[in-house]
A and B are shown apart, each in its own frame.
Chain A
Amino acid sequence: MTRLTCPFCGPRDLQEFEFRKTLPEPDSNAYAQVYERANRLEDSLEHWQHVHGCRAWLLIRRNPSTGQVLKLELMGGGGP
């Protein structure tokens, strides 16, 4: 994974993006939401920002063991 395809900007170098967090398990309690991360070898749901581009927030599902991006979608109404 050396590039991500931003829905606004197209395929861009990974250096333009910043990782924010791995999402916790849904429906967990407040403590788990903050401190516990789903840590799965092949499936990780993450928030990234195209911080040095359009600043859009992205929801990315990827396989951390291969780097393969399985799903990438725009969050909220962000973007240019």
Chain B
Amino acid sequence: MSPAKVRVGSRLASAPVRFSFDGRQYTGQRGDTAASALLAHGVRFLGRSLKYRRPRGLLTAGPEEPNVLLTVGSRPTVIPNVPAPLLVLTDGLEFRSQNRWPSLHCDVASLLQVGGGFFGAGFYYKTFMWPSWRSYETIVRNLAGLGEAPGVSTLPPPAIEHLSCDVLVGGAGPAGLAAALAAARAGARVVVCEREPECGGELEFEGGTIDGRPGGQWVAAVAEELGRRGARVLTDTAIVGGSGGLLIAHAEPGGLAGRNKIYQIRPRHFVIAMGAVERPIAFVDNDRPGVMLLGAAERYLARYGAAAGNNLVLFGNHDRLYAAAGRFVAAGLRVRAIVDSRTEAAVADGGTAANDLRAKLQRGGIECLLGYAVLATEGRAAVHGARVAPLASPHDERRIACDAILVSGGWSPAIHAGLHEGGKRRYADCSAAFIAAGQPEWRTGAGASNGALDLAAVVADGFAAGERAARAVGTAGSAGPAPIAYGDGPPRLAPFWSSPASTDQEKRQFVDFQNDVTVADLRQALAEGFIDIEHIKRYTTLGVGTEQGRTSGVLGAAIVAELKRETLLAVGTSRTRPPYHPVTLAALAGHRSGQQIRVTRRTPLHEWQEGHGGVLEPAEYWMRTRYYRANGANAFAAGVAEAARVRAVGGILDGSTLGKIEVAGQDAAAYLDRMYLNRASTIKVGRSKYMVNLREDGMVLDDGIVLRLADDRYFATTSSGHAGHMLAHFEHYADTEWGGRDVALTDVTEAWAVIVVAGPASRDTLRDVLGSAWHADLGRLTHMDFATGRWHGRELRVLRAGFSGELAFELHCRPAIAVPLWQALVDGGLEPYGLEALDILRVEKGYLVGAELNGQTTPHDLGMDGLVELGNPCIGRPLLDRPAFHEASRPRLVGLRTVDGKATILGGAQITTVAVPNRSVGHITSAVYSPALREWIGLALVARSLAAEGTQLVARDPLRGGDTAVRVSPLVHFDPSGERMKS
């Protein structure tokens, strides 16, 4: 039987669109999706299943599509896992099927299945255990996975829009539109999100009238009125998640990332009107291409004019089968049989309209089989027939030739948006599914989520929900009379989940199509002791794919209930969690990727350094110069040259990145005494001190210099990387334990630029540059003194300190004079140096470089015993007395040299004793090549028992260089008496 190839009364424009699927060229119509265009070409076999590689075709017409996920584009910019019903064709679009290798029709893994048979739940856990999972991992991982991961993304970052409104309506089907209309008429500000490109939901194909107008006309009129009343209707926009009153909606017109957008919506009230998701019925080989959900077939026909087949068998458990059959017949398709699982007796009671319709269809020659079920399908990569039998005697099988089986086991209301945060659900007999209940005050269900399944009830319920929502947000207006609707009657559904089958046949009764979960898997999970539906889900993978149990969740739970002989209510379903639809991670990240992840801060000297050969690198939030290109071919050579020049002549460094906090108030001195291990209150005005902060647990947090500007005013510096954290730390203490005292903290990090001037020539150059007004101060300043004044009319502080071991000054100046001052120093003969040289100078002098403050070192570990003995009761001080902090195994900061004076050592190397080569007793925190000493030197944290000067140890660095014999040296490698600094 040849598949359908004809368009039947399409609403699409006739403009052709060319596309390619698996390398073959096709032509669709503008507005077609990949699904509808391929369906219209009669292409049914569109993918393979994840586990068994069985041929699959379209099951649905929406984002819940489990079978046909496509990979769009070609490497490296592929977009995987796009559901075919969402992918709107554009000219030249290329896409291909998934889960097959090398091609869809010839798949190696599916051939393996022929011999190997089926592997049930827990197969991987049980099979690949000997000798270990690792032996199989590579092979299994190559076969596993959904689609192909993109290599790079050239997609533009999606926009994020923030919205607030009185009433957010999720879904623009009849219920949602009625709710939006009522709320807008009552005066509420309304936003509507509809996942489809058009409003109307099932009105698109369902016959019926609302307020005397055909459904389509009513939809257009409502959309017009909503626009007039200022409501925003967002189509192609699905609500995908949210929490705490914030809803996240994802707009993806055309179904393809790259044109998408995220809405963050804060409504005062949220109406859940997302309709219901149709579910299949489990029967043997119900996954064969050609088996489609009834509503999906109606949608493909109504919207795209694409027929699911020419010879249809309809199979279900409710009255909607007959209304749908009438529409298929009217469109010219042949309905071979309607297989209804309900008995004659059950159907006879009430439902006059549906019974009349059935009688009419029968008179038209359509076979209506009551009390029957489809037991199995026939065919290979496409359905050729249905095997049906009366439920009373399932062995009396007969075959009905057909090319499509349209199945409907009822509808599961889409109430997920109200559940993941702990909303409740209630079992509704009318739909044999769960509906929303126990929602918080700001959420209301409407239509299907309240159990309404026929048009009249849906519209009435939606309108009432909209009125309630408007009232809840306090709008005063009246919504007026509710629309009156007439449509397909109530479906009179009788639960029917799986057709009769032998235990062996249950292996081919599919429940979750995407993950190949069958009735047999569910039975096995129960037999192996997985009782709870959440455990069954994890063990069998029921509903864990991109369709997230939309089609399979309730069906699976109902079959578990039948197997356990419990009610569906008692079994429940697994909890749904956002995102409700697949969303690319890039969409959620929005613009926050690459360089946009966090701010980049630039010092006032940034442009100068960039323009003069500085190689700038990110250092926390800042960009800092590592070295200058003119000084060497690479960072190592340039750093050594720059450090040597500082010691020989001098140099300048941009230190503006230092964190700077001004501390003022009557209680400032006492406050700082609590913040630092050593006392700030003993600093004289005009002097400064090297100070250390501890964490609450006694570990060293940060260090810096504190200047006393006045009796009640201090200027504290923090290390560059810690600036933000230290400010918060200072503020926290000032507002909590220290709250209520007179202390004011001001972040002045960017109010002052800092230029470090170091080297023998620094004072003389400064005399020339700063001018005669500063001569007296420059002559007067001793180590840690500072002077204040002006240069070119702006404030300048000159502090005699510099952490290079040379005669050095820190110039704290206003940013406006930073560049002229810097340039004047350069013109005066001092060349700039970068962080590489700074580290060399610091390690030579035994100053902390950074890696020593790793959050695991106490002041004792770092040799600051003298500071602890001051007895200042600061934050963290009480816990320093813990015995464990004083054991011989605690580290101690030491200097390190190589034994031969030639070998290389690098930071990060582990240190062991010579005798025990595989137990670390410490590590090198920083190591540099010292141009002053002409050898590699380092700082290391070594167990106290081994920290005595001269102890021979081994630095082990297997990944970078192997073992090096080292010895503990004095911490200060260069100029230990500090003569140069005092000169």
Interface residues of A (CB under 8 A from B): 1-3, 18, 20, 30-31, 33-35, 47, 49, 51, 55-57, 66-67, 75-78
Contacts and interface: CB of A to CB of B under 8 A. Distances in A.
Nearest to A74: B735
B30 to A, nearest CB: 41
Contact of B697 (A3, A35, A78): A35
16 contacts: A3-B244, A18-B728, A30-B879, A34-B697, A34-B879, A35-B697, A47-B736, A49-B728, A49-B732, A55-B731, A57-B735, A66-B422, A67-B243, A75-B735, A75-B736, A77-B735
B732 A47 contact: yes
Given A31-B879, A34-B697, A57-B736, 6 more contacts: A3-B245, A47-B732, A67-B243, A76-B735, A77-B735, A78-B734
A31 B696 CA distance: 10
A67 B732 contact: no
Q: How large is the interface on B (under 10, 10 to 19, 20 to 34, 35 or more residues)?
A: 10 to 19
A47 to B, nearest CB: 7
A77 B244 contact: no
Given A2-B246, A66-B422, A77 B728 contact: no
B879 A76 contact: no
Given A2-B244, A2-B245, A34-B696, A77 B739 contact: yes
A66 B728 CA distance: 28
B739 A76 contact: yes
Given A30-B878, A35-B697, A78 B735 contact: yes
B244 A1 contact: yes
Interface string B14-38: 0000000000000000000000000
B771 interface: no
Given A2-B244, A35-B697, A66-B422, A78 B879 contact: no
Contacts of A1: 244
List the 8 shortest-distance A-B pairs measured between CB atoms, nearest first. A76-B735, A76-B739, A2-B244, A57-B735, A78-B735, A2-B246, A30-B878, A75-B735
B777 to A, nearest CB: 36
A45 to B, nearest CB: 12
Contacts of A56: 735
A34 to B, nearest CB: 5
A76 to B, nearest CB: 3
B728 A76 contact: no
Interface string B848-888: 00000000000000000000000000000011001000000
Given A30-B878, A76-B734, A78-B735, A2 B243 contact: yes
Contacts of A55: 731
Interface of B: 243-246, 422, 696-697, 728, 731-732, 734-736, 738-740, 878-879, 882
Nearest to B737: A76
A34 B878 CA distance: 11
A34 B732 CA distance: 15
Contacts of A31: 879, 882
A67 B244 contact: yes
A20 B739 contact: no
B740 A76 contact: yes
A25 to B, nearest CB: 15
Q: Which of A1, A20, A35, A57 has the most CB of B within 10 A?
A: A57
A1 B734 CA distance: 27
A75 B739 contact: yes
A1 B728 CA distance: 23
A57 B731 contact: yes
B606 to A, nearest CB: 24
Contacts of B696: 33-34
A55 B724 CA distance: 12
A76 B246 contact: no
Contacts of A18: 728
A51 B736 contact: no
A33 B879 CA distance: 10
A57 B732 contact: yes
Contacts of A77: 735, 739-740
Contacts of B422: 66
Contact of B732 (A2, A20, A66): A20
A51 B729 CA distance: 11
Contacts of B245: 2-3
Contacts of A2: 243-246
Nearest to A55: B731
Contacts of A30: 878-879
Nearest to B724: A51
A31 B876 CA distance: 10
A1 B245 CA distance: 8
Nearest to B738: A76
A31 B885 CA distance: 14
Q: Which of A18, A30, A33 has the most CB of B within 10 A?
A: A30
A75 B733 CA distance: 10
A49 B739 contact: no
Nearest to A49: B728
A33 B739 CA distance: 18
A29 to B, nearest CB: 9
Contacts of B878: 30
Nearest to A18: B728
A30 B882 CA distance: 11
A66 B735 CA distance: 28
A8 to B, nearest CB: 13
A43 B244 CA distance: 18
Contacts of A47: 732, 736
A18 B734 CA distance: 17
Contacts of A20: 728, 732
A78 B731 CA distance: 8
Contact of A51 (B246, B728, B734, B739): B728
Contacts of A75: 735-736, 739
A3 B734 CA distance: 25
A45 B735 CA distance: 16
Nearest to A59: B736
Contacts of A67: 243-244
A2 to B, nearest CB: 4
Nearest to A29: B878
B731 A49 contact: yes
A41 B243 CA distance: 19
Nearest to A58: B735
A13 to B, nearest CB: 9
A31 B697 CA distance: 8
B240 to A, nearest CB: 15
Q: Which of A1, A20, A75 has the most CB of B within 10 A?
A: A75
A30 B879 CA distance: 7
A78 B732 CA distance: 9
A34 B882 CA distance: 13
Contacts of B739: 75-77
Contacts of A78: 731, 734-735
A78 B728 CA distance: 12
A31 B731 CA distance: 23
A19 to B, nearest CB: 11
Contacts of B728: 18, 20, 49, 51
A73 to B, nearest CB: 12
A71 to B, nearest CB: 16
A3 B264 CA distance: 13
B861 to A, nearest CB: 18
A77 B742 CA distance: 9
A44 to B, nearest CB: 16
Contacts of B879: 30-31, 34
A6 to B, nearest CB: 14
Contacts of B697: 34-35
B909 to A, nearest CB: 32
A77 B738 CA distance: 10
Contacts of B246: 2-3
A78 B738 CA distance: 11
B420 to A, nearest CB: 13
Nearest to A51: B728
Contacts of A34: 696-697, 879
A51 B879 CA distance: 29
Contacts of B243: 2, 67
